[in-house]
Each structure stands twice: as C-alpha cells, then as structure tokens.
Structure 1
C-alpha cells in the first residue's frame, strides 16, 4: 500500500501517523515544504520517500509531486493530511489521481456552515437558525430577523478564525468595515450560557463508529481568544447518552468513511444540545494525545490498522478524565512547572510548549493530566490556573 502524507512534519505530534503506518507495513510517502534534514531521523526512517515542494498552496506543484511518486512507486492508495487546512488540497489530489476518500464535491457539506445546518436538521438534531449573508443589505436583514447578539463567521472557514460576536450597533459597524463583503458569511444567534462540548471519534472503511469520545471546554473558543483567557478542556470519562444519540445521528447523515470526526455542540442550561459544526478531521492541538491518555489507547496505531483492513481493538481499560490545560506567558501563576509535577505526579501524562500557530488561542505551556473524578478535574484546573496575587502598596 502506498500512502501519501501531506505535511508529514507539521504538526509535530501528527508524525506518529507516519510511524504507525510504516509499522503496519505501509509505504509512507511524504510531501511537504520543510527541508529533508529538518524532518529528523525518526520521521526520515518512517518515510519511504519525501518530496519537498516550495509551496503546498501551489496545487500544480503538489500534483507534479504526486505524479512523480506515482511513477516511481506505483498507484497511490491514500492521500491524507489529517489537517483541516489541507482538506481541500487532499480532495483535489484524490480526484486527480483516482484515490479512495473524499473528493471536492463531497467536501461542501463539511466546509460550509450553511450546508452543515441542513444535515443537522435531516438528522433531527436541534440547531439555531442562521442566515447566509453576501452583502451589507443581507447583513442588516439577517440581524433584523435574528436579533442581536449574533455570531458572524465565514460560511467556509476554519475554527474561530475571522469570527465576530456582534452585540451592539457599534459591533455591527466594525464588522461591516472589516468584512467589506470580501467573503460569504454565516450569521446565527449567540447562545447565552451554552457550554461548548464535542462528540468525536473514528470511522472504519464502512463508516461505522469504532471509537467515540467527548470533551468539554471551560469557555467557548471565541471568548477564549478575544479575552486571552486561561484554557482548560476535559476529555470526559463518559458521554451523555443524549449527546451520543445526537452525535451518532449526525455521523449517519454525513456518511463519511475511514476518517476521524469532530462535532461541536453547545450544551444548554436545560440539558439539551444544539449542533454547531461538523469537522471532517481530528480536533486540533494535542487532543489526539489526550484521547490516548484518557482511553489508554494508541489511536495512531488503530487508524493504521483500519487503513490496512484490520480491526479496531479497544484497550479494555476503564476510561479516565484527561484535562488539557495551559498557562499563558503573559500572566504570572502561583504554581510553576515543578510545582505542577510535584502535585500531580504520574497523573501528569504530557507537557509541551504550544506551537505559535495555536498559542494565541490556547496559551503557551500545555499540560495533559489524568483524573478519576470531577472533583479531581476541578482541583487540577484551580491549581494550574491560580495566579499570583498582585500586592498594592499604599504610600
């Protein structure tokens, strides 16, 4: 089997896909922008061949790279990045070279917020009504229909990028100036008091869910980045049955195969949920590592098994919570790295500096810490985020 990994070097924790695929007997072929020497010996040893391009954004250059690898190694069985930024590139390459997986015409439902809403409704899952806006006239009509506050985000966009919360006329005018009708936006009512949570998992080659999990944020991502707040998100020990039922209905409606999925919801104060977005890939950052810690599993290995026609094997271990938590360089915290290690010992599974691309949103220093109870989760968050008291001197 020949498997092309797009951008095998970045993000660094995704390099494990190359390692596990190679261990499963796959010829892993990489296409990326980094010099070969930068890859490091471990990744170099996992790649059968690496083709460096000047710019992954240049589709014609990347097509030439795939054609070369096809000529040298034979038919390509998979092309994948597991990264939302390259989803459209992956799909175009699959179509060009007749490779298994999503093609461009299948991406519309997972790239456009307005199209997602249609499938959420088809799955009989609650949503908040939204409006597509292309002009300023449509913007004001949508605001009149929906009423402030609303969330404005690109209809085709990644994460919280270029997202605005419009609570006042001043906010609307500011958005209008920033937007300039340069792209299609999607507006929907702001959900007051909603807790951002997810239903995530992995699908086999027939589209069956073979792994599922869920995590909850301490604050919504928009507030997180705008206020430069402290981040904590928690892989849950168990999934709320109502959330699970909604998630499974959505997965069926989207009809994807051999892929990770990441579905975002708001949990309402009444205990119900509204669906927000379907992401046709893993959650970002170190979330896959947190899945592994919470479920005592190696999802990189399980994915490689599915791709090569094998089965998914559950670890059989009892799940734990896993808290992903960060500290920001801009703030002074009461407890430093050594204190965190001393406090949580073997429960601290992982710590790493956040890549600059994620630091503004999530923070600078990341920790993944397991817990057995909600009380332990609360203690972890309180301890890591506790800041030093500012002493005011009165003269």
Structure 2
C-alpha cells in the first residue's frame, strides 16, 4: 500500500507510525517542509522517499508532490498526519487524488462544535445547551435563557485556546470586546470532570482498540490560569462511556481512524458529550497506551492497514499517568529528586515541545502501576509546590 504521511516528524513522538508501516511492507512517502537532515535517523530509514515543500500551507506545492508520488509509485491509497491541524488539508488532498478517508464534505461534523452537538443529540446523548451567537443581541438572548456561568469557545478550535469563562455582565462585555472575529459557540457551564473515550476503528467502523482517560482539571483552566495538569488512563472503561463512544462512532461514521472523544462526568454520575477529535489523543497519550498495555499501538495501526485486523487486544494491566510540570512553577522536588524518588514508577520522561506546553506543561513524566492510589500520590508529589 502507498501511504503518504503528512508532517511525519511532528508531533515528535509520532515517527513510529512511519517506521511500523515500513516494517509491515508499505511504501511510506513523507511530505513536509522540514529539511531532510532534520528528521531523526529512525524516520529517515522508515521513509521510502521524502518530498520537501517550502511551506505545508502552500496547497499547490502539496498537489505537485502527490502528483510526483503518483507518477513514481502509482495509486496513493492512504494519506494522514494524525494531527487535528492538518485535517482540512488532508481532506482536500484525498478529494483531489481519490484517497480513502475523510473528505471536505465531512469537515463540518468533525470540526464544528455546533454540528457535533446536533449529531450527539441524534445519537441520544446529553449535551450542554449552546448556540453560535454572532451578535450581541443573540448573545444576550442566550444569557437570558441559560444564565451564568457560560463558556465561550471557537466553533472550530483546538486545545482551549482563546476560550472564555463568563460569570457576570462585566465579563460578558469584556468577552464581546476581546473575542477574535470568528464564530464562537457559547455554552452553559457544566460542572463535571473531563473524561475521554479514545480508540481505533477498522474499515467497517468496528472499535478494535479503546481506552479512557480522566483529568485532574479542565484544559481550559490549565491554559487560562497557566497551571499544571495530570491525567491518567484507567484499567476498566465504564460501560456507559463505552456505549456512548460506540454511539458516536456510528453517528459520525468513523472508519479506519483513531478517535478522541471528550465528555463531562457529572456529580450524579451521568455523562455529557463535549466534542470529538478524529485523531489520536494528543501529547504523549499514545505512548501512555503502549505503557499501560505492554503493546505497540503504532504496529497495530500498521496491522490494521495490512490485514484489516489487529494482532493484540488491549488488556490494561496498568494504570498509566501523565504528569506535567511548567517551568515557571517552583516545585518542591527538583527533577533529579523526582527521578530518584519515583524512579520505579517512571516509564518515560521528556521535555515537551513548546507548542503543547500551555496545555500539558514544559516537562512530562509517564508513570505506571497496577494501583491507582500509588500513581495519584506520586503525581501529586511531583507537582507539589515548594
């Protein structure tokens, strides 16, 4: 199979996707704007060929590159980046070169939160009341209907950037004055814990791998307050969450794709559907999945493309926790003490790319253990202030 990987070097921990595809016998064609010598050696070895463009935002250059790949290797059968940022670019390239996967006609339902909300309702799921308010009159009418507090976020957007919590008339006025000139959806504030349902589907839309994460706090709070976060992958996925995830996969027609669905778990135990992302969960979450299951999710993706099946099921023998720290926060334990004190629990640690630092920190630790209490105590210790 001829597989084009857009931006195969970024996110930095996604290079094994290319490597496992190559090991499975696929022709892996890299396309990005980085210099070839900047790619890590393992990625260079995985790519059958690499085509450098001056800028990945120059669509005509991408078309020229895929035209070249088609001329040299024949029909292009898959194209992906595993990144939310390039979703629309990928869709247009698939349309122009008749490649399997999401197309431009699918973009509204997987990018616009307002459209997601309607599909959630059709799937029988509870959602927060919300509306795209395009002028102050619409906004005030919604406030009169729902009341404070409210959350306002881009209808198309990633990572809680430019997201507002509005608790009063004065903050409403500030929001109107400050908000960027794009569509915003305004929703009632939902006081619940963020949990996720993540996984991978086969070409028929069957879920072949799944997992779930719970967060110490909301990403909006982390970004807006510039604080730190930890989150953990559970060992047992609640059945109501699994059922909701299956309903969303069916409603959105998710086929041969990773997905990352977000929910609120309310105090009464019920679920409120928040949004969908048609990609693997971000940061080091795919690495967490591997450590939690003693498996290689990159290889299983290659298996799926090769045979339509995975070779190993996730057994979840460990809880796995990501713990982020930010450079500006003065922690009680320096890095060296963290490694010495929690070394037996630490599966991996690394400095985080600055693009992700606002949400998950400048430095991250992955910990695993069969007992959740042990991990949470370690996470809180790593983030304890001086």
Aligned to 1:392: none
Q: What CA distance in whole angstroms lies between the structure 1 residues aligned with 2:57 and 2:185? A: 25
User: What are the residue-to-residue correspondences of 1:153-302 with 2, within 5 Å?
Assistant: 153-179=153-179, 182-192=181-191, 194-302=192-300
Aligned to 2:124: 124
Contact 1:296 1:315 in 2 (8 A): no
Q: What CA distance in whole angstroms lies between the structure 1 residues aligned with 2:358 and 2:315? A: 35
1:352-389 CA distance string (max 9 Å, x none)? 1010001122211100000212211221122101121x
1:315 is displaced (CA, Å) by 5.0
Q: CA RMSD in A?
A: 1.3
Aligned to 2:88: 88
Say if 1:273 and 1:178 are closer, same or farther in 2 by CA, change over 3 A. same
Q: What CA distance in whole angstroms lies between the structure 2 residues aligned with 1:138 and 1:257? A: 37
Gaps of 5+ in 1: 389-395
Q: What CA distance in whole angstroms lies between the structure 1 residues aligned with 2:379 and 2:205? A: 36
* SS of residue in 1 equivalent to 2:321: strand
1:65-116 CA distance string (max 9 Å, x none)? 1111111111101110100000000000000000011101012111111111
Q: Does 1:353 align with 2:351?
A: yes
User: What are the residue-to-residue correspondences of 1:353-372 with 2, within 5 Å?
Assistant: 353-372=351-370
1:318 is displaced (CA, Å) by 4.7
Q: What CA distance in whole angstroms lies between the structure 2 residues aligned with 1:231 and 1:290? A: 15
Aligned to 2:15: 15
Contact 2:203 2:308 in 1 (8 A): no
Aligned to 2:43: 43
* SS of residue in 1 equivalent to 2:299: helix
Q: What CA distance in whole angstroms lies between the structure 2 residues aligned with 1:312 and 1:67? A: 32
1:291 is displaced (CA, Å) by 1.0
Q: Does 1:376 align with 2:360?
A: no
Aligned to 1:391: none
User: What are the residue-to-residue correspondences of 1:99-110 with 2, within 5 Å?
Assistant: 99-110=99-110
Gaps of 5+ in 2: none
Which moves more between the two structures, 316-325 or 245-254?
316-325
1:256-292 CA distance string (max 9 Å, x none)? 1000000000000001110000111111111110111
* SS of residue in 1 equivalent to 2:343: helix
Say if 1:317 and 1:196 are closer, same or farther in 2 by CA, change over 3 A. closer
Q: What CA distance in whole angstroms lies between the structure 1 residues aligned with 2:160 and 2:40? A: 32
Contact 1:110 1:279 in 2 (8 A): yes
1:134-163 CA distance string (max 9 Å, x none)? 222222222222211111111122221221
Q: What CA distance in whole angstroms lies between the structure 1 residues aligned with 2:232 and 2:147? A: 33
Q: What CA distance in whole angstroms lies between the structure 2 residues aligned with 1:331 and 1:209? A: 40
**What TM-score do you get using the length of structure 1 for normalisation?**
0.95
